Structure 1
Amino acid sequence: MSAKGNSQWKLMDKNATRETKKLFKSLKKIQKRGTIFAHQHATEYGRGWMGDEDRSDVKSVVGTHPGMIGVDFSGFTGRNPEEYKSRLKKVVEDTYNRGGVITIAWHFYNPVGPGGFYWQDSISTPVVRRLIPNGDAHEQYKEILDGIAEWANSCRGKNGELVPMIFRPYHEFDGDWFWWGASHCTVDEFKTLWKFTASYLRDTKNVHNFIWAFSPDNKFNTQEEYLERYPGNEWVDMVGMDNYADMGRDRYDLDTAIKKLRIVSDYAKKNKKLAAFTETGLESIPNTTWWTESMLKVMKADGLRLSYVLVWRNDSRSKTHYYAPHPGHKSVPDFEKFFEDKFTWFEDDLAKKNIYKKRRAK
């Protein structure tokens, strides 16, 4: 019976909100037909601007925002956390009310030592073991999670419903550059950190509008390696991968990028999870046909089912640190072809499909 197959596609949170369940199902349908284009910090700032209303570099180029907007919890432990939370709340609610999707990364500043979110050999010390249960900073970690929970439960749509979000904590954990990286905590410590974070937010703080995404970098070659720090199917809704290296940063090796994405996608299909290309891009986009000859080719590779692909941010000040085109950029003509391809989904496409099945205004 087909109903049996459908019933197995369930979120890890049995008490997830109606809209969160609808988003999960919509993402499952979309990845059979195409892939959502996502851009980090797209509406917060872009090339030469910051904080403009209803603006993104992508919209300035093609007339609509990316289908998914990436945001970050980094400022929750920064200098002015309440101001940051308020500003981010507006970004999230505006995106949802327009019909788009939110995905959240967490560049988590070390809460108990120096070094920010990066690991610095000269000053950093192991942190994960201190945050998990029985660690000396466990209570402090719970206070940080309390702030996340309060914020998540404050984000509401026009009708008062909670805004669904894809939450992607502790990304690129297989590398060594973050303090939660593989060299700085054991497998068990990382799994414990993930499970505690998820259970505390879901079960203790009643956060029921998160879709939980697991995303290492690209340092795996087999499913076994990919799953080394996987906390288990009961703790994950979406599996992904970050990969800049094979997409032009270090080399052009699209076959390897596809091979690794296929490991992710195949696992997702077998285990009734969503899959995504959670981070990629080519800084400054010097390759004028990168969008159709690299990105789209990977997205359309046989056997892949990806809910979204996210490229990194467009810095407002840097002359080189940007990953999506802006007006006048030499890759705009190719990006327009990428946009026009029916396989790619942008915000207007999602809004037309009413992916949250929201009640339409009379």
Structure 2
Amino acid sequence: MSKKNKIFYLYKSFAIGLVVLFFSSCKPFYNTVYKKPTLVDTKTSKRVKKLHKELFYLSKEGFAIGHQDDTSYGIGWKQADFPNMIKSDVNDVVGDFPAVYGFDISGIETGNENNLDDVPFNTMRQLIIDAFSKGGIITISWHADNPVTNGDSWDKTPAVEKIIGNGIYVDKYEEWINKVATFLKSLKFKGKDIPIIFRPFHEMNGGWFWWGNPNCNSIEYIQLWRNTVYLLRDTYHIHNLVYTYSPNRLGPNDAYMDYYPGDNFVDILGIDIYDFQNSFEFVNSLEHDLKIIKNIATERSKLYALTETGVNKLDGNNWFIQDTSPDQNWFSKVLYPTIENSGIAWILFWRNGTKGEQYVSYKGHKSEADFKAFAKQPKTLFLNDINKLKSKL
């Protein structure tokens, strides 16, 4: 074979190889079913785009099961030996970890070593990395302290008006966001940012937080939300966040969109709905509110989720306390039938702090058998389930 013919042959073989490689290995990321979404961050990371797509398809199969602080602590134990011990009340009961791991960064803004539930931020970082490395989805809430009084989130002293516009604490709030950004930038796996479902300033239609009604109005709230996005996205170049808006269950005078920051500032719609020992009322609220959210989300081509839930009762003096004798079949007979065909992408049960604040079954609890039955339902997706589904995308 002449040198000229050999060069031609090699060139032809190389060209054919490229074509074969392209068609055999390249699968369009977007398609007629999953169309390109409009996300808050146009520079969002590839991992965020992948997470959004995965959530879209998961919602077609069922809903990912989440638990707040699942590997941080539980009933009778606290994470103290990472990475030699990764424990979970959910895993102890059903033999699998939740698909969604919830964390809260309250205290990061003031330079604390631990968050409001005494979880060290260094441990939290390690647990987030570990959960993501195993295929878990990470969601972070932020019970920020009151910037005016330095009290906690439940200090209802009006503060929003003082950290927006020409407010006297604008610089202080911007420094807080700088600390939030620093922590978020530290969440990396194999050198790349971990995608985070970020859910700040939740339950704003309730009156228990300094950012909630009537402690600030909707105009102030919207400006606070947008300023937070501008700072994280544009000033500190955080491009691994999925911004999630989540009011509390809707009251008679509430409209879901009352505090909505706008389509360009929200990626996912959520809502927090608890059962206050009145399952009839809970089911009605869940059906009513999720129907509203589904219609809004469909119209705006957005995903939606049940961002907090659980069974509890209201203690008139303090906070929501878990009832000592909940309906033993609440998970499988009350909750599951109500959300089975709701279209939510995930559900997040709140934390197992103590036996006075416990939202998921633990080993030996009388709801253990029911939670196992709930886990076996076709649409409840735990960690192993979502990893199997993701592998097919």
TM-score w.r.t. the length of structure 1 is 0.90
Quick check: 1:257 aligned with 2:293?
no
> 1:238 maps to which residue?
268
Q: Indicate which of 216, 229, 236 corresponds to 2:259.
A: 229
Q: Indicate which of 125, 132, 154 corresponds to 2:186.
A: 154
Tell me which structure has the larger Cα radius of gyration: 2
Cα distance in 2 between the residues matched to 1:18 and 1:57: 32
TM-score w.r.t. the length of structure 2 is 0.83
> 2:225 maps to which residue?
194
Runs of 4+ in 1 over 6 A off after TM superposition: none
**Aligned residue type for 1:51:** Q
Matches within 5 A, 1:71-86: 71-77=103-109, 80-81=112-113, 84-86=120-122
Task: Quote how far apart the aligned CAs of 1:9 are.
Answer: 1.9
> 2:309 maps to which residue?
280
Matches within 5 A, 1:268-347: 268-282=297-311, 283-284=322-323, 286-301=326-341, 304-315=342-353, 318-347=354-383
Quick check: 1:16 aligned with 2:44?
yes
**Aligned residue type for 1:350:** I
> 2:9 maps to which residue?
none
Q: Is this contact kept in 2: 1:109–1:117, CA < 8 A? A: yes
Q: CA RMSD in A?
A: 2.1
> 2:23 maps to which residue?
none
Matches within 5 A, 1:100-249: 100-120=136-156, 124=157, 126-157=158-189, 159-220=190-251, 225-244=255-274, 247-249=275-277
> 1:360 maps to which residue?
none
Cα distance in 1 between the residues matched to 2:241 and 2:141: 12
**Aligned residue type for 2:299:** K
> 2:14 maps to which residue?
none
5+ long unaligned stretches in structure 2: 1-29, 312-321
In the alignment of these two chains, the number of paired residues is 344
Distance 1:166 1:129, change over 3 A: same
> 1:96 maps to which residue?
132
Task: Quote how far apart the aligned CAs of 1:270 are.
Answer: 1.5
SS at match of 2:387: helix
Q: Is this contact kept in 2: 1:30–1:307, CA < 8 A? A: yes
SS at match of 1:227: coil
**Aligned residue type for 2:101:** I
Give the structure, 1 or 2, with the largest relative contact order (CA under 8 Å, sep 6 or more): 1
% identical aligned pairs: 33
Task: Quote how far apart the aligned CAs of 1:221 are.
Answer: 5.5
Distance 1:176 1:341, change over 3 A: same
The superposition leaves residues 158-206 of structure 1 with CA deviations (integer Å, 9 ceiling, x where unpaired) of x212100100000000011000011011211100000000111011111
5+ long unaligned stretches in structure 1: 358-362
